[in-house]
A and B are shown apart, each in its own frame.
Chain A
Amino acid sequence: MSATISLISGRAVPVVGNDIDTDRIIPARFLRCVTFDGLGEHAFEDDRRQLTAAGKTHAFDDQRFTGAKVLVANSNFGCGSSREHAPQALAKWGIDAIVAVSYSEIFFGNCVAMGLPCLRVSVADSEAIQAAVVKDPAAQVAVDIDKLEVRVGGQTWKAQMGAGHRQQFLTGQWDATSELIAGLPQVRATAGKLPYVSSFA
């Protein structure tokens, strides 16, 4: 049993754009490591540096969003490489929940296994939430996994999450390892029925 996760409250940070891939979240050179320690400071490093060089500011460098717990993104967030280093970097930067239109399957699975809930909202709502956060960066954003809502100031948006995943967070079963281990006798039975496991002998 892992910790139950039902409500994340805190300030939010908007990261705008579709198809933001995991190479951008954590460039490959930072994967030369045998632990996930220290990844947080490198989240979006190349995007941040390039914007700074162009006289602009990435949301992760913008002081208005310092200390944010909720990341608000758009479509197909976390696509590309399977690297868990990407959600680990976001979590170590301080992100406790993500709200976006959609996620790459692998990124989403990594987040579940780490206890980082990812809620889905419509295209228009993702843009509206980002706009609300930009308008009032100090606003408290509530990501409610129980009610499947995102609340900012007086506004409420409906959000989605698969029933199974929602249940995993609400009941503290997002870390599946112990449950999977409990099934080991059945795992052996399944293996025994698959002809290739014994090379068809």
Chain B
Amino acid sequence: MSSRTLFDKVWDLHTVRTLPSGQNQLFIGLHMIHEVTSPQAFADLRAKGLKVPFPELSVATVDHIVPTEDQSRPYADGLAEEMMVAIARNCREYGIRLFEPGSGKQGVVHIIAPEQGLTQPGMTVACGDSHTATHGAFGAIAFGIGTSQVRDVLATQTLSMSRLKVRKIQVDGRLKSGVYAKDVILHILRKLTAKGGVGFAYEFAGSTFSAMSMEERMTVCNMAIEGGARCGYVNPDQVTFDYLKGREYAPTGDNWAKAVAWWTSIASDADAQFDDIKTFRAEDIEPTVTWGISPDHGVGVGESIPAKESFTQDEWATIDEAYQYMDLKAGQPIAGVVIDVAFIGSCTNGRISDLREAAKVITAHGGQVNAKVKAFIVPGSEAVKVAAEAEGLDKIFTAHGFEWRNAGCSMCLAMNPDKLKGRQVSASSSNRNFKGRQGSPSGRTLLMSPAMVAIAALEGKVSDVRAVLNTSESLQKKN
């Protein structure tokens, strides 16, 4: 059969049957578990006397509540400690692998599964976490679920699901210097809105994505959910296979060639039919910063806060709320907005290439973190931390006044001790600028790329990273 998308192929291969309700019983090939959304699911299994038939297809770690400074047990936060005890007990009782702190494999769940080679093309991937969309970078159909559904996956390795429509998001061309994967997805969100993708899976296609590394593709797919799309994916290609080769849970020996053949076969056909197509040009994308309270409230760093009238009228109440909450006015330039805290990390931008880009900007700038700014960098996993330290990135960060922490979700959602205080403004490489998201009910978040967070930390305000990159490039040319 031709004319099929990767989504169609993977969905059909994983459909066990049609349920009496008309929904599909969908097989889940990789189920990831973390400490926040799983305890009630295990409690329900226990209460109902249910078994876990495929424990080898689940893998667990701890990330949301883990402190990034003092990680000695028991944790100072008794509630966090209780959750740690619960996940260890639950995994032991049901025979599920758990990557604990100190194992070398702990970290943000969406960073460690790819890193270990667990996420592979053609899989269905589910986790009680909306940023499961990240794994779509491998050509997997990966989506977040709630706790009742975590229970269903544990008990049956399946979910009751409705099929999604597929929208192709075609981006072609080369990104300009200082423009990163984060800017690409913030630009797409701005154009297609936070709700534009409801009911869709997003296929990210075109030369811009083909030229991206796996880590960059993960940043893009990670935030598909911010556009309302439950999942986003990139078709697997040689970049995907090269990334996977040699990773701990990737196929080995004679099975590798079989795997590559199957992975290749599940990519969208050249004449695949889509429910919708949207097209963008890479050269139109600027370093992008959010100014409001939803991830689609983005502007280019050279632009000003948009007027309410540039939105549809049903958005005006939300836009007014955003101006008021952020204490920003229409027409005010985004560059120059003063920040108090700078955070680099999260499942969106806590990988080694993100830290390398930040280090490059810091070195090119040469200065210290602004005296009024608290800046900290949280590696996405223990493995990212080891790799960064082996390259000496931690030394660059600390020499310029950034704090260097242990792996975890940290101030992306601030369930651990890393939180904004009062009305502080944060420049953040994370994924959500919702009201109160970073731990203070009145705290404010500006989303941007790790390179843009680095320059904001040094300058103490939102700044265009291209100023230092271009200077450093022209210096290199002269030498």
Contact = CB atoms under 8 A, between A and B. Distances in A.
Nearest to B262: A195
Interface stretch (A4-12, A45-53, A62-70, A139-147): A45-53
Interface centre among A18, A46, A74, A191 (most CB of B within 10 A): A18
A185 to B, nearest CB: 10
A31 B13 CA distance: 35
Contacts of B460: none
B436 A82 contact: no
A81 B162 contact: no
A168 to B, nearest CB: 5
Contacts of B164: 105
B20 A200 contact: no
Given A106-B145, A167-B22, A173-B20, A200 B436 contact: no
B120 interface: yes
Contacts of B389: none
Contact of A33 (B79, B255, B258, B413): B79
A114 B255 contact: no
Given A84-B146, A106-B144, A180 B314 contact: no
A79 B228 contact: yes
Contact of A114 (B36, B64, B148): B148
B415 A187 contact: no
Interface in A162-194: 162-165, 167-168, 171, 173, 176-177, 179-181, 183-184, 186-191, 193-194
Contact of B39 (A34, A103, A165, A197): A34
A149 interface: no
A198 to B, nearest CB: 9
A19 interface: yes
B435 A24 contact: yes
Interface in B166-225: 194-195, 198-199, 225
Contact of B441 (A17, A27, A199): A27
Interface string A7-31: 0000000001111010110011101
Contacts of B148: 84, 110, 113-114
A23 B314 contact: no
A82 B145 contact: yes
Nearest to A16: B317
Contacts of B132: 82
B436 to A, nearest CB: 5
Contacts of A31: 36, 64, 415
A187 B441 contact: no
A7 to B, nearest CB: 19
A113 B149 contact: yes
Interface string B248-259: 000100011011
B40 interface: yes
Interface centre among A113, A114, A167 (most CB of B within 10 A): A113
B365 interface: no
Interface centre among B21, B39, B129 (most CB of A within 10 A): B21
B146 A23 contact: no
B156 A187 contact: yes
Contacts of B15: 190
A160 to B, nearest CB: 12
B230 A79 contact: no
B323 interface: no
B16 to A, nearest CB: 5
A44 B413 CA distance: 16
A36 B40 contact: yes
Nearest to B25: A183
B6 interface: no
A57 interface: no
A33 B36 CA distance: 8
B130 A82 contact: yes
Interface in B137-165: 143-149, 151-152, 155-162, 164
Given A31-B64, A80-B432, 15 more contacts: A18-B317, A28-B439, A29-B414, A32-B77, A32-B80, A79-B194, A79-B195, A80-B130, A82-B144, A110-B147, A179-B21, A183-B19, A193-B13, A197-B29, A199-B251
27 contacts: A29-B414, A32-B77, A35-B39, A36-B40, A50-B442, A74-B314, A76-B194, A80-B434, A81-B432, A82-B129, A82-B130, A102-B198, A105-B164, A105-B198, A106-B225, A114-B148, A164-B22, A164-B23, A173-B21, A179-B25, A179-B160, A181-B50, A190-B15, A190-B16, A195-B262, A200-B256, A200-B259
Q: Which 4 A-B pairs have the closest CB atoms?
A: A110-B146, A84-B146, A113-B148, A164-B22
